[in-house]
Amino acid sequence: MRWLRESSGVACRRHAHVKGFSLFELIIVMLIVAIAGALAGPAVQSGWHSREIRHGTRKLAAAMRGLREHAVRRGVDQELVLEPDGETIHRSDGEPTTLPDGVMITGVRGGWRDPDGQVRAIFYPSGGTSGLGVIVAGRGGDGLQFAIELDPLLGSVVIREVSR
């Protein structure tokens, strides 16, 4: 046992066994935390990418539903234009919209194709459309994919997950 003198001059005993963690124990814990973080990182990133694809799909479907509603309400044809870059969408009002980063339209079926590569879908005041089907996926085309189908007769927008 060791005797120490406090600043007040009173002697006190200090125990030889001090409670706490050694440097070795702290290093081991930090190593375990680092390994767990390295293993969890890709899972979190994958979940984030899937979230972005879902968000882009909902954004495009909402634009389609909005144009149909405008056509019926205003009694005037509305137009949706998909740019060849697969990321930019134009509405009848000329306002461009882009899909989230890393998300793009990887496939198109139907619609009217322009010589410059644009694809157009028309929404009629009767509620019908010219019909269109698109695949929304990540930039590489791998991972989660969704199909958005635009019914020509009813103008309904249906989203379904594409199984590979």
- Closest by alpha carbon to 134, among 104, 164, 161, 108? 108
Q: What was the pLDDT predicted at 1?
A: 43
Would you say the pTM of this structure is higher than 0.85?
no
DSSP code per residue over 106-160: EEEEESEE-TTS-EEEEE-TTS-BS-EEEEEEETTS-S-EEEEEE-TTT--EEEE
In order of their start, the domains of the chain are: 23-161 (3.55.40.10)
> Does 148 or 39 have the greater pLDDT score?
148
Confidence of residue 59 (pLDDT cuts 50, 70, 90): very high
Q: What is the pLDDT of residues 74-109, one digit of tens each?
A: 999 999 999 999 899 998 877 788 999 889 999 999
